Amino acid sequence: MANIALVTDSTAYIPQDLVKKYNITVAPQVLIWGKEELADGVDIQPTEFYKRLGKATIMPSTSQVTVGKMHQIFQGLLDQDLQVLAIMVSSKLSGTINSAVQAVAALPEGAPVHIVDSQTTAMAMGFITISVARAIEQGATMKECVELAEKSIGHTGVVFAVDTLEFLHRGGRIGSATRFLGAALNLKPILEVQDGKVEAIERVRTRSKSLSRLVELAEERVAGRAPVHLATLHANASEDAKLVLQEARQRLNAVESIISEVSPVVGTHTGPGTVGLAFMAGM
């Protein structure tokens, strides 16, 4: 039996059936809403979040997984005589890895906890985690798992279309996308995680064109590599996500396709109506 435990954070929003199948531990990010602190995906689920967001007079904010929660997770797994591999959201998007590093520092010296910066988020990070989980099932060592996770980073990507830049701008997570503010707010921005940061790459004039462009961009990024794993992610836009996934699956001959929701913490920054397309190719 494998003695490696996998940990990721809730921004991956790996579907629950896969979390359970591969026994992945998910560290919840924190949603702050007024005086409430809610564990992402635990105390609040996407459907409830977007309903509440639509009526809210006070907007939510977010915070990374706490050091205490990370320490609790790591210690609990170590107590089961497990080694721990934590694959976390890009350090350029969140302080989660810093929390993990501080948690490890509070563990006994030499505790077998390894941390990998995925340099991404959403199901791009999810596919990295799942690929390692499948390697663990095949008996991979910790060294092999760490190497696989780090190699997988260059084989993944995520592009997404948002209805407005308001949420990303407010959260300070759009990098060069700020240049699209002002006169360009009536356009539909397409963004991509590049080098661990969210960057604006294009702008199109309609919602339908932005969704079609997601598929074209994924096809360009995949560049003929196989096999291809695909996941759409959506913020209260399931029908659009299904259509995007259907087209992408056919055009890229995907061996795996997943529909994932955008976690409340990510949705706080992207806003409702967001649809994204994540992929892993050539792994």
DSSP the chain: ---EEEEEEGGG---HHHHHHTT-EEEPPEEEETTEEEEBTTTB-HHHHHHHHHH-SS--EEEPPPHHHHHHHHHHHHTTT-EEEEEES-TTT-SHHHHHHHHHHTSPTT--EEEEE-S--HHHHHHHHHHHHHHHHTT--HHHHHHHHHHHHTTEEEEEE-S-SHHHHHHT--GGGGGGSGGGGGSEEEEEEETTEEEEEEEESSHHHHHHHHHHHHHHHHTT-SSEEEEEEESS-HHHHHHHHHHHHHHHT-SEEEEEEPPHHHHHHH-TT-EEEEEEE--
Domain of 189, CATH number, reads: 3.30.1180.10
pLDDT < 50 positions in the chain: 1, 175-177, 179, 182-183
Q: Are residues 173 and 91 in the same domain?
A: no
Q: Are residues 111 and 248 in the same domain?
A: no
Residue 56, domain member (yes or no): no
How high is the pLDDT of residue 150? 98
What residues make up the domain containing 160? 156-281
- How many structural domains does the chain have? 2
Residue 52, domain member (yes or no): no
Quote the CA–CA distance of 146 and 132 in Å, as a whole number. 8
Q: In this structure, what are the phi and psi dihedrals at residue 6, rounded to the nearest 5 degrees?
A: -100, 135
Q: Which structure tokens are listed for 215?
A: 């598929």
Q: Are residues 140 and 237 in the same domain?
A: no
Report which of 22, 55, 62, 56 is spatially closest to residue 40, judged by C-alpha positions.
62
Residue 87, domain member (yes or no): yes
How high is the pLDDT of residue 182? 42
Q: Are residues 129 and 234 in the same domain?
A: no
Domain boundary among 109, 129, 153: 153
Q: Are residues 107 and 173 in the same domain?
A: no
Residue 15, domain member (yes or no): yes
Q: Residue ranges of the alpha helices (H) in 154-225? A: 166-171, 207-222
How high is the pLDDT of residue 169? 61
Q: Are residues 85 and 220 in the same domain?
A: no
At residue 253's C-alpha, the angle toward residues 20 and 234, to 5°, is 50
Domain boundary among 153, 178, 207: 153
How high is the pLDDT of residue 205? 83
Assess contact for 233 and 218: CB atoms under 8 A: no
Residue 10, domain member (yes or no): yes
Domain boundary among 126, 153, 180: 153
Per residue in 114-133, pLDDT tens?
Answer: 999 999 999 999 999 999 99
How high is the pLDDT of residue 140? 96
Residue 40, domain member (yes or no): no
Q: What is the pTM of this model?
A: 0.92
How high is the pLDDT of residue 3? 94
Q: Are residues 132 and 242 in the same domain?
A: no
How high is the pLDDT of residue 194? 95
Residue 48, domain member (yes or no): no
Residue 49, domain member (yes or no): no
Q: Are residues 86 and 201 in the same domain?
A: no
Q: Are residues 170 and 183 in the same domain?
A: yes
